[in-house]
Every structure is written in structure tokens, then in C-alpha cells.
Amino acid sequence: TAPLTDHLARNKTAWEVARQPSSWRCCSIPRLLALLVAVAAVAIGCLQSNGVTDGTFPLLHLTRPWNLTSDDAFSFEGQTAVITGASSGLGLGTAKLLARRGATLVVTARDTDKCEATLAELRSHSPCNNTESAHKCVAPPITCVKLELLSLARVEETAAKLIKAVPRLDILVLNAGIMAPPALELSDDGLEIQFQVNHLSQWFLANRLLPSLRRASAPRVVVISSVGHWLAPSTGLLSLSKLNDAAAYNKAKWYGWSKLCNLLFARELAR
């Protein structure tokens, strides 16, 4: 379709600009010295730091430990958040924190059983559980919606339900994802599943929810990517035909490409 073609073209352009070759041969000695200085600075930072940020490439995010707990987080009372892939991992952890800090939550999972288990887990983290007058406390509502990211038609259906249920959306966390299936698998739309689940379907969902986001005073869209975006093919963004080529399929590189798409989407949305 035209929107998908335009979206891929913008991503490809952003990637090509980001990877334009530099003139190392013209100024190799100054650039080499600059690189050595940068490496030395990173090494000194490692020695001086008590640790690195968990879950990211250590050389990119050197810092001292913040020693923060969930009690140090801002209050989210009066705000509504939608979190995809909230039945486990980062999505569940994010949902627990927002629930504890008073947000109205709408989380998604692939099936009814996962929804029920997620709701039970999140309700145990209600702010009402931490008050002496818990019997008088009214906890913000937490609901779960089934979301199947392997089909754009089903994403469209879920988006319509969310727009009706959440006319004003303050926070959208795009977290759902899959990683490195051993062999090529195609979605209901005939696309490689890491690309569709990790990027395309959630890009589609975010676009459908933009009207609700724009009704908030300070909306936020958080896209969960990965340091694995470094695994993307060095040749840049793939064509859809190459993406679906079973002979060319590489589970790590295709995962990296989907995570690179996350970054490019977030960058474009921020602009």
C-alpha cells in the first residue's frame, strides 16, 4: 500500500543519511587520534564509574548507579497509559510501576488467559494496597485488551476499541516483541514476523491512536528498541522481497533490522 511504501522510503532515507561514508582517507591521522582520545575517555569513565546502565550497550551509557526505587517515580494519577506486550518482561515491569503510581492502565496481551493473569498481577500492585485506609481507597481501573500483532486487520480492530475506551491517551508504550525465530515465518499479511510484530504493527497502532494522544496536554510515546539494532545488515534497510527470502533469512540480522526500525520510527515521530 502507498502509506507502507512511503513509510519504508522515509526509513531508508534516514538510514542512508546516518550511514553516509566519512572521509577517513583524507584525514586519517587526525581522525585516528580523535578515536584514541574517545576510547581513552570511555576507559577512564569505566574505571571511575561504579557500574553501567543495565540492558544497554555499556560504552554508550556510562553512569553511576541511580539507586532509585519505584517509590521515587513520579505520580501518574489522572493519566492513562496503554502498554503493549505487558504480560511479561519490560512491559509487565512498566505496567507494575505505573499501577503503583496511580495510572489508569490499558494493557495488551495475545490471548484471554494471558490477559487474566496479567490483570491479577497488576491489581496486586495497586496504590490502594499501600495505604492504611485501603478499604476507602478507589484504585484506578486496569483493563486488558487482546492484541494480535500478526495481522494489521486485527490491529485495526483493537485500535478502534482503544479509541472508544480511551478518548484521551497520555502515555503509549510500544513494548511487544518477538526475537530470533530459527526459521523464516510469515505473518497473516505475508511479512516476516519480526518486522511485523516488532515494528510495523505497532507503528500502525501508534498512528491510529494519534488522535487520542493529541488530546493529552503532554503525550508521550515510548518505543522499546534494543542494542540489538546493531545487528542490522550493514547494507542498510532491506527490501520487502529480501525480507521474505527464506534463503537469505538470518534471525539475528532480521531482529536487528526490526529494532533499527523502532529507532528510526521514534526519531521520525519526535521530529
Residue 265 near residue 223 (C-beta atoms within 8 A):
yes
Nearest one of 212, 85, 203 to 144, comparing CA atoms: 85
Q: Rounded distance, CA 112 to CA 127, Å? A: 25
What three-state secondary structure class fits 145? Answer: strand
Residue 196 near residue 187 (C-beta atoms within 8 A):
yes
| Residue 183, C-beta contacts closer than 8 angstroms, at least 6 positions apart | 246, 249
| CA 270, chain centre distance (Å) | 14
Question: For residue 105, what is the enclosing H or E element?
Answer: strand 104-109
Which residue in 15, 255, 257, 265 is the catalytic one? Answer: 255
Torsion (CA) 209, 194, 143, 79 in degrees, nearest 10:
-50
Catalytic, 255? Answer yes
Burial 235-246 (b: 16+ CB within 10 A, else e): eebbeeeebbee
Residue 162 near residue 105 (C-beta atoms within 8 A):
no
Residue 253 CB neighbour total at 10 angstroms: 18
**What residues are annotated to the active site?**
255
